[in-house]
Structure 1
Amino acid sequence: MPASSPSEAESSPPVLPGPQVRGGEDMEPGEEKVCAVCGDRATGYHFHVMTCEGCKGFFRRSINKGVHFTCPFSRSCPITKAKRRQCQACRLQKCLDVGMKKDMIMSEEALRRRRALRGQRRQEREQPGGLTAEQQELIAILIAAHQRTFDSSFSQFTHY
């Protein structure tokens, strides 16, 4: 019997939505994105993993500061939206376990440059564009031609 038969399709287990760690190939266009670390609503891929803003910021700050967290329990604390702040050691470990990459974190200086460049580009888009050197040259030629041919005394109208 072919694999596309209705009986086999009905017997296959349903695909349950879960945290998307990488790729996003299982995501449907309208499907809610879920943080791979804590299960909160994800805002996009951060450091190579679908995460929420909270876990993105926690991971970046933890790596940038180079802190060493210690779990007071058995390093198996549940990391959920409600409990993610209870154990920083387990939260950071889960960030690493789901695939967040330390080397994708930009330095503070690189972030400042990137933000400044974005602001500059936004201002350029909002302001009317300036003329290129070629456009300015064409305007100068047109003005000169107009001035050479324009009769400022209106002598041709003296007969009227």
Structure 2
Amino acid sequence: MKMNKKGIKILRSLLAIKGFPQKNKIAEETGLSIQTVTPFINKMIDDGIVKGFSAIIEPDKLGYHQVHFLLNIEKGTNEEAINFLKNMDRVLYVTSGFGNSDCQLVVAIPADRTDLIPSYMESMRQSGIFKSEMSIHVVTKSHFPLPDFLRNEDLD
């Protein structure tokens, strides 16, 4: 889908919303009619530009720390290791990529149970992961900024 000025305005509004979008508010914010906004949103969903709407949970508000592991996996065992990781307890997400590490594992550990961390590291060593770096995120602030290419687009 090629994004014209109306589509970019609607997408900007969607990205700024906390929670499920109300089309009348988007119409008001963008200066467009609901009849214009609705098909644009539906098209963005159909084209996979917008993948859905969900609540974002802040684990620290529930008494958890996010523990991030940057991992290197033995060659040829990437798929098995990823499948192992995503089935571990308390997993928030697993990402795979390139760079200084092969993947990232993020788990939610109760703030008063950081003693669980060594057991995660031992389990990972047994599953083909040969190097890991860890950090604990005590306070999380989710921030999903508007991408530069949309923020800097001149729409006037």
Taking structure 1 as the reference length, the TM-score comes to 0.27
- Decide which structure has greater strand share: 2
Taking structure 2 as the reference length, the TM-score comes to 0.27
| Higher RCO, Cα 8 Å, sep 6+ | 2
Structure label with greater radius of gyration: 1
